[in-house]
Each structure stands twice: as structure tokens, then as C-alpha cells.
Structure 1
Amino acid sequence: MVSKTHSQLIIVFLFLLSSLNITSTSYTHDAVNFDKWVSRNVKKYEERKSILKTKVKVAAPGPDLKLRDAESNKAIITVRQDGSGDFKTISEALNSIPPRNTRRVIVSISPGVYREKVMIPRTKAFVTLSGNAGNPPTITGNDTASASGRNGTPLGTFQSATVAVDASYFVAINIKFENSAPHEIGRRGEQGVALRISGTKAAFYNCSFSGAQDTLYDHKGLHFFNNCYIQGSVDFIFGSARSLYQNCYLNSTTTKVASITAQKRSNSSLESGFSFKNCTVTGSGHVYLGRAWGDYSRVVFSYTYMDNLVLPKGWSDWGDQNRDSRVYYGEYMCSGPGANLAGRVPWARMLTDEEAKPFIGTQFIEGDTWLINTS
């Protein structure tokens, strides 16, 4: 972990969102809950009376010199489906960025539905996908783990993603990521990822992620999700990353029993884990807050409203009782009918103020050296 004494560089982006006359979009499931999420954001940002802008403040040199240099040398390219921009598709725009990119490239995407499988390789760091706050563009696909790839073999969950980001320093603002493949209970191979993020130091602002099984593959790295809407049916937030979800809306569409998270921390020395702060958990069916994909799975919910779909037990060891003493599943200052701690599994943690501190701030993801700050 980078120490604060060596963290003299702070890159500050101020992304304030304007013109928020947002209307409901055509989500496959539970559009009513999405409307509620939109309404809260409309009220929030109309109160700010802000306009969309990007401001960069470069402080004294610090350890992340690559980031400082990238932000001081930005480029903007536009994607317009009607041909009035630099490119008609997102993939064409990304292909124009040279390998081993070292500058911030902002891909400004006009409203519309983009039926593309978007891949951002490791060599193309510092990419920002930016949409319109009032009418965000949708990037959609319907690949599943069982779908055939180029060589005729199944894609697998990893390759099913509509958008896959292997590059670091990625940012998304006002983008809707979607995998429209349905999930039928009992069928195998229906994992359909809307977004896979495998690069580190990535941030998502006012984005939505819509899918069924395995919607958001939070694969690895340090990640920040702020004011995002995440919807799915089974394990719809999963992976091995260390991520902070702040002011996010988690909407279940399951019809029976499922889990919101499947965090894969495979040994006790890994610093990975998911922290949810000031979030809302609602939707259909009955859900566990998390189930242990890894033996040392780590998930914490703080200051979060939980509706009555959350099962009294709260957490699942995925049928392996050996994990009960290894996982770290914590709750702190949560509210709502689903936050009743009386029926929780005995190995769930009711965190004290001191125990909660490492999880409820941006220090959890080393944000002082790279994080985009929206305050």
C-alpha cells in the first residue's frame, strides 16, 4: 500500500452533472425501482444547479507521475451515430488510440443504443467514456458463458462481457452498461456480464449496470463506484477486486433466493474486498448480502438501507462450513427491515466504530493517490 507520506500527488476531477431531466429507461426488469433511483438523482443534482464540466487540479509531484502527466495532456474524441462526430462507433474510437497510450483520452459518446462488444486492452490506459447526464448512452450485448466463441468453444463468464476493460486508470461517467441475456433458474451457462473491470485505479460515476446472472465482474484492482445503479438476479456483483461502492442502488430481480455479491478473496494475505457505503438494497425475491466464492471472502455494508428482501441470516458460506471462521462479513450502522441483526449467522460481524473505519472511507482503495473526487 502506498503510504500517505509519499502521496503528495492528488489528481482532482470535479464532475458535476447538469440538465438532469432524466426519464426512465427500458430495463428488462423492475423499471419502477430504476425510476425511484433516477428521481433521487434528479432532485440531488437540480439542487446543485450544476453543469457538466471536467476540471483538473495538479498538486505537487508524487509517486503517480504517469497519472499526473496523462491528465496534463488530454485529448477529446467524439462518437456520434449520425456521423457528425469523429467516429460512429465506440470501438472505432478506441481503435484510434495508439498502443502504450500515455495521455488522458476522453471519448465523448452521444445518446443512443450502441450494440457493440467493447474491449479496452491493457496497453490503452487513461481512457474515459463520457455520456450525457440527461440521456446516457447504452452499450448493450447479450453474450453468455455458454455462447460459442470464434473457435467454437464456449466463451465462459470472463469473455461474455459486453464491455471488458483490462487497462488501468479507466473512468466512466454517465454510461449504461447492459447485458440483456435472461436468466432461467436451473439452467447452466447463463452468466452474462455487462461489464468486466480488470484494470486498477478505475472509477465509475453515475453509471448503471444491468443484467441477470453475474452483471458486474469486479475482477481485480482498486475501483470506485459512486452514485451507480447495479441490477441483477444472481451474484450480480462478483470478483476479487478491492472496491468501494458509495451511494449506489443495488436492485435484485431474482424470483427465488439468490445472492447480491460473490467476493473471491482466496487467502488471508490479499487486501481485496467489497465495501458498500450509503447504499440501498431493494428489489424482488430473497437475497443474501453475499456468499463466499473465496475461502476468505470479505464484504462490508455500512450506512446502507436494506429492504425486507434481505434474508434474516444475511450471509451464506456457499455450503462450506470451513469458511465460517475465515470470511469477513461485516455490517455497520445499517437500516431498514432487512438490516435486523437478530437472525444473522453467528459468524457475521457487527462492527464497532473502530472496526468499521478501514472500510468506510476512500483509504480502503488508496484513493488519496489517484481517486477522482466529486465533492
Structure 2
Amino acid sequence: MKKILFYCSIVLLLNSSVIKASNFRSAYDIIVAQDGSGNYKTVQEAINAVPDFRKVVTTIFIKNGIYKEKLNLSASKQLVKMIGENVEKTILTFDDWAQRKNNFGEEKGTSGSASFYIYGPQFSAENITFQNTAGPVGQAVALFVAGDKAKFVNCRMLGFQDTLYTYGYASRQYYYKCYIEGTVDFIFGSSTAVFEECEIFCKNAGYITASSSPDTSKYGYVFLNSKVLGNAPANSFYLGRPWRPFAKSVFINCDLGKIIKAEGWDNWGKETNEKTAFYAEYNNTGAGANPKARVAWSHQLNEKTIKEYTLDQIFNGWNPKE
């Protein structure tokens, strides 16, 4: 009788483990694991397996590991959702930089330096680190986001110059509780992007944003309830400078560290940019919040104008929290 009970318990344990594994697998469409325990060992294989123009969300779970791959999610791969096992241990990385030569002996350029290209619409990511490990060698993009309605939650973007490239004026992007670090122009591009409750970490000295918003775009970059800090020297960082004349960046209810220069904003050496760029702040705190010392051509929002900065208005009806 004892032997029968023993064998029954073993069977029950085995069945339980099978059920748990089955439930784990059923929670995701695709699992990536370097040890072979998933559907694929590489992230690009998983991306390639997503049916083109699929009309429902495809979830890709990525187990912990350092995945050194130059990744591309094409425009036909829509509604892809990537979930990392742990934000600090699930790392998608590469080490290209702008001056690095391709197979034809040509420089790759800023756009060619990206570790991960996202063109597919309605992409989302959670608990993932996006990294470029080229170091302080000039432009080296960790994440290139061009698809519309892109959403990142609890992710990290690590690099130096040009860490995050928000590409394309038609792209709307939402970053929530993300960590983004860099030196010169490390958040740049023409997209409309909101950074809510994010941590912006400034290294060495430089500029946080380099918006290239077109004149038809109203919002550009909006930082909400975020923290701006870093290991850079005090008074060494600008909030932004205009990559293109109609650049737009706004910081609202943010905690600005002592690294921020009193003048706040730079015109990129062109006084004409002062007439077209829109740089503004509202209710910021911290040692770097100094509205009276800001350049005269920047703006301070008031109780009336701040009402224009809701997610619904910024994203023209798209609700990234749904």
C-alpha cells in the first residue's frame, strides 16, 4: 500500500509540473530562451515567426539572458508584445556606432548604428533592457522606434550619445516608468512621445533632448512626473536643443537635479531657432528647476495652458493605458 501511495504521489507531482509548464507556455505565443527551453533561442527568430499583418496581439516572452543581436521588427509585424523575465537581466544589445564601417567600407551613420529597429505599429515592451555597448564613440543608438502607437513599460534604454531615436513625425510613443540614460542628445527625433514617471539619467555633460518636430506637430516631447538626475557635474546639462527649427519639449511636474543648467535650453548656435522652437516647463522642482533664470525665449505654462497636456490630446485620441 505504501508503494502504491508513493507512486501515486510521484505521478501527481509529474502531472503538476506538466500542468504548470503548460500554463506557462499558454500564457505566451512564443518563448525565447538561450538554453533551448523555449520555442527559439534568439529574439530575431521569434520576430520572424510572427505572421505578417496578424490582427491580434502576438506575445513574445523573453527569458533572462544577454541577447547580442542586431534586431529588426518590420512594418508587417504589427501588434507585437515583448515581455522580459526581468528588466535588469533580459538584455537586448549590440555595439554598432555611426562611424563604424559596413561591409562596403562605408560608415553606418546614426540610423545604421541602432541595436533594435521597431517599424511595426502597436508594438509594446515590458521588463526589457535595450542597450548599445559601443561606449562614448559618438552616435550609437540603442533603440530606434518608428512604428505608431509604441508603448514601453518598466524598460531601460542604455547608451551614451543618441541612445533613443524616436523616428518619424507620424509615430506616437509612450514610455512609462522607464529608465533612459545618455550624454549628448540621448533622446532625439521627430515623434510625439510622452515620458511618464520615468528616470532620465545624465552622464558626463550634454543635452537631454534633440527634438526635430515638424511645424505641423504640436507636442513633440512631453515629460510628466519624471526625475532628471545623473552623475554629470552640476550645471552641465541642457534640457534640450533644437535639432530642427520647430523642436518641442516640455517638462511638467518633474524633479530636476542640480545637473541642469540655470538657462535650461540651448538654441544649437542659431538665434533663428529661438523664434520657432517651443520649450516649456510647469511646476518643476529640485535644484535644477529655476524658471527665473531660464532663457527668455522659453516658456512657463500656466493653469490654462497646462490643460492642453493630457494624454488624449497629446496622442490625438490614442489611450496607451488601455
TM-score, length-normalised on structure 2? Answer: 0.87
Q: Which amino acid aligns with 2:248?
A: R
C-alpha displacement of 1:258: 0.9
CA–CA distance in structure 1, aligned partners of residues 306 and 275 of structure 2: 19
* Alignment correspondent of 1:106: 59
Q: Are the aligned partners of 1:78 and 1:86 in contact in 2 as well (CA < 8 Å)?
A: yes
CA–CA distance in structure 2, aligned partners of residues 76 and 349 of structure 1: 47
Q: Which amino acid aligns with 2:152?
A: F
For residue 217 of structure 2, the aligned residue among 256, 262, 270 is 270
Q: Are the aligned partners of 1:265 and 1:294 in contact in 2 as well (CA < 8 Å)?
A: yes
* Alignment correspondent of 2:127: 174
Percent identity over the alignment is 33
Q: Which amino acid aligns with 1:363?
A: Q
C-alpha displacement of 1:272: 4.9
Q: Secondary structure at the match of 1:316?
A: coil
For residue 229 of structure 1, the aligned residue among 179, 195, 203 is 179
* Alignment correspondent of 1:246: 196
For residue 158 of structure 1, the aligned residue among 111, 116, 137 is 111
* Alignment correspondent of 2:80: 127
Q: Which amino acid aligns with 2:133?
A: S
Pick 1 or 2: higher relative contact order, CA cutoff 8 A, min separation 6: 1
* Alignment correspondent of 1:36: none
CA–CA distance in structure 2, aligned partners of residues 358 and 225 of structure 1: 19
**What do residues 248-297 of structure 1 show as CA deviations (whole Å, max 9, x unaligned)?**
0000112xx4100000023x223450000001011113100000111011
**What do residues 114-134 of structure 1 show as CA deviations (whole Å, max 9, x unaligned)?**
111110001111111101246
Q: Which amino acid aligns with 1:358?
A: E
In the alignment, does 2:261 pair up with 1:311?
yes
**What do residues 207-245 of structure 1 show as CA deviations (whole Å, max 9, x unaligned)?**
000000000001120010000000001100000000110
C-alpha displacement of 1:362: 4.2
Distance of aligned partners of 1:134 and 1:275 in 2 relative to their CA distance in 1, 3 Å threshold = closer
Distance of aligned partners of 1:369 and 1:350 in 2 relative to their CA distance in 1, 3 Å threshold = closer
Q: Are the aligned partners of 2:28 and 2:61 in contact in 1 as well (CA < 8 Å)?
A: no
Higher alpha-carbon deviation: 165-174 or 101-110: 101-110
Q: Which amino acid aligns with 2:291?
A: L
* Alignment correspondent of 1:212: 160
Q: Secondary structure at the match of 1:238?
A: strand
CA–CA distance in structure 1, aligned partners of residues 78 and 219 of structure 2: 22
CA–CA distance in structure 2, aligned partners of residues 143 and 296 of structure 1: 30
What runs of 5+ residues in structure 2 fail to find an aligned partner?
A: 1-26
For residue 281 of structure 1, the aligned residue among 200, 203, 228 is 228
Higher alpha-carbon deviation: 321-330 or 356-365: 356-365
In the alignment, does 2:67 pair up with 1:118?
no
C-alpha displacement of 1:323: 1.1
CA–CA distance in structure 2, aligned partners of residues 141 and 129 of structure 1: 18
Distance of aligned partners of 1:212 and 1:269 in 2 relative to their CA distance in 1, 3 Å threshold = same
CA–CA distance in structure 2, aligned partners of residues 327 and 319 of structure 1: 13
Q: Are the aligned partners of 1:203 and 1:372 in contact in 2 as well (CA < 8 Å)?
A: no
* Alignment correspondent of 1:63: none
Q: Are the aligned partners of 2:84 and 2:128 in contact in 1 as well (CA < 8 Å)?
A: yes
C-alpha displacement of 1:172: 0.5
What runs of 5+ residues in structure 1 fail to find an aligned partner?
A: 1-73, 185-189
Q: Are the aligned partners of 1:244 and 1:362 in contact in 2 as well (CA < 8 Å)?
A: no
* Alignment correspondent of 1:295: 245
Q: Are the aligned partners of 1:240 and 1:272 in contact in 2 as well (CA < 8 Å)?
A: no
**What do residues 19-44 of structure 1 show as CA deviations (whole Å, max 9, x unaligned)?**
xxxxxxxxxxxxxxxxxxxxxxxxxx
For residue 359 of structure 1, the aligned residue among 303, 309, 317 is 309
Q: Secondary structure at the match of 2:280?
A: strand
C-alpha displacement of 1:93: 0.7
Distance of aligned partners of 1:166 and 1:355 in 2 relative to their CA distance in 1, 3 Å threshold = same
* Alignment correspondent of 2:49: 96
For residue 37 of structure 2, the aligned residue among 68, 79, 84 is 84
Q: Greater Rg, structure 1 or structure 2? A: 2
Q: Which amino acid aligns with 1:214?
A: D
CA–CA distance in structure 2, aligned partners of residues 134 and 252 of structure 1: 20
C-alpha displacement of 1:371: 1.7
Q: Which amino acid aligns with 1:211?
A: G
Q: Which amino acid aligns with 2:66?
A: V
